[in-house]
Chain A
Amino acid sequence: MNARAPQPRNVLTQSLAQIGACGLFLLTLLAAVPRSFRYLRETIRQLWFVGAMSLTIIMVCGLFVGMVLMLQLYHVLSIFGGTSASGMVVALSVYRELGPVVTALLFAGRAGTAVTAEIGLMRATDQISAMEMMAVDPVAYVATPRFLAGLIAMPLLSCVFCAMAIFGGHLVGVTWLGIDNGTFWSNMTAQVDVHTDIINGVLLKSLAFGAVVSLIAVFQGFTTPPTSEGVAYATTRTVVASSIAILALDFVLTAFLM
């Protein structure tokens, strides 16, 4: 993967080549997983960086998503006199769609770009080549820990996001708009199912999104041209490609899981 293929002219062949290279890179990553167990400490450091450091933005965004969703639903549902169902609708829409998707988009912007820029700069400053000189496998030491960290962090962040959204919805619905507290919770617990909504909705989706975002971030970092312009370009591409991949994959997963 070190030798960059000559750039084809056609946009279609170019993107196809990108997808193919990305798939091959995934195989390399997975093959390096057993070797990267030696660098467990590095994985934990990355988990701290992509996971724990993203908590603030995830929690604040989750809170506001829950609050605004409740506010909107309350006004629409009050037309039909169904405001008591709004807590349930907030929970279902957050668990099934908004939680995993918004978390993944934020994760791509917060952690994916940082990973791409870091690896890209490592390339630009020849650190990757230096590792190869020292017989340290750069895939096992640099790429796989970041990939695994993203894979572990996304479901956890998604759960935190959902919990904060429920809290925000409760804050606006019960404390401000005056929905009955008991009705809010009982309607929610009556309709939310552990299997379809929490395991399939929150956990499985966010695991898939975490894999896709981390793969794209690490891949873009590794294949960036070793110039400052190339790093900037690769960082942008991480966000664009991740967002498209998340939304497209979300449709496919929803179609299969529902």
Chain B
Amino acid sequence: MSQPRSSYAVGTGLFIVLGFAALAYLATQTSSVANVRQGDSYVVDAQFTNIGQLKERAPVKVAGVRVGQVQSITLQPGRDVAEVKLSIDKLYDRIPQDSVATIFTSGLLGDQYVGIEYGSAKQVVAAGGTLARTKSTQPLEEMLGKFFGAGGVVDNVGGSYAVKASFTNVGTLSAGAPVKMAGVVIGSVQSVHADPVKLNADVVLSIDKRYDAIPDDSSAAVFTSGLIGSQYVAIQPGGSPDALKDGDEMILTQSALQLEDLIGKFLVNGSPSDKKDAGNGNK
């Protein structure tokens, strides 16, 4: 009994060792423990007005190369700036005092990280020092909003009048969607119905009484706010001396543009050579 026992005992021992070796391999080589590994580091403060989706342990990069990570994000009570502590590798201890810390997004939908652009000052920022110059995150919605001329504050709609407009395609426009002029909300969509005869979409817009001087040759267009935002109706004023009245129909309309078409056009026209993005570390 003792001879076979020692052989299977050794085999069993080997099996257990192999199992734990596999576990150690999974835990250290294929998971984010590998990211946490960091040598000696020093801490630098930076203050941002908007950190967006930045999280603790997000990377800190210089020229797109990881030099450290975000240690903590705190908000001081009574102040509206976020205090971000960056833990940077001791190896990179010569960051100029006037460097700019910026919050970037890797890719279109990627995670956010802090990028440091070197300044030219002689003094370097010391451990525990502060990077005074920062650039906060630019929400994608704001950028696209600027681009599309959208994004505004919702007004309280008081007394209103109804105007009809018919579109060949309203996209995902639904009742209750805002009606905007110059990016400002001036009313809302009352109803969206398909016309059984003309085979297009009849939209009834309810516009605030205060805006009673909209020319009757103004055009209505269905726009999208942001990249994947909801749709709204934008009114572009025309030049007619007569104003729109209750029950009028807007003749000039522009249907919803499919975002897919837009991006498709953009991708086809955009030159592929200028796609270099130093900040985008892992593609």
Contacts and interface: CB of A to CB of B under 8 A. Distances in A.
A62 to B, nearest CB: 10
A162 B22 contact: yes
Main secondary structure of the interface of B (DSSP, over half): helix
Contacts of A84: 283
Given A160-B22, A187-B282, A48 B35 contact: no
A189 B30 contact: yes
Interface string B9-31: 10110111011101101110111
A49 to B, nearest CB: 8
Contacts, number: 91
B33 A52 contact: no
Nearest to A154: B19
Interface residues of A, number: 36
A194 B8 contact: no
A52 B11 contact: yes
Nearest to A84: B283
A45 B35 contact: no
Contacts of B35: 189-190
A208 B99 CA distance: 53
Interface string A182-226: 010111111111100110001100000000000000000000000
B276 interface: no
Contact of B282 (A44, A152, A186): A186
B32 A190 contact: yes
Contact of A160 (B8, B19, B32): B19
A47 interface: yes
B12 A44 contact: yes
Contact of A193 (B9, B15, B19, B31): B31
B5 interface: yes
B282 A159 contact: no
Contacts of B282: 183, 186-187, 190
A162 B26 contact: yes
A52 B20 CA distance: 13
A100 interface: no
B15 A189 contact: no
Main secondary structure of the interface of A (DSSP, over half): helix
Given A44-B9, A183-B282, A187-B282, A156 B30 contact: no
Contact of A55 (B18, B25, B33): B18
Given A55-B18, A192-B30, A193-B32, A163 B25 contact: yes
Nearest to A182: B282
B31 A198 contact: yes
Nearest to A167: B25
B26 A163 contact: yes
B34 A163 contact: no
Contacts of B16: 47, 51, 152, 156
Of B18, B19, B32, the most chain A CB neighbours within 10 A belong to B19
A104 interface: no
Interface string B25-52: 1110111111100000000000000000
Given A45-B12, A191-B32, A198-B27, 10 more contacts: A44-B8, A51-B12, A51-B16, A52-B11, A84-B283, A157-B19, A166-B26, A190-B35, A194-B31, A194-B33
7 contacts: A47-B16, A52-B14, A153-B15, A155-B19, A192-B32, A194-B31, A202-B26
**A-B pairs with lowest CB-CB distance, top 6:** A156-B19, A52-B15, A159-B22, A48-B8, A192-B31, A163-B22
Interface of B: 5, 8-9, 11-12, 14-16, 18-20, 22-23, 25-27, 29-35, 282-283
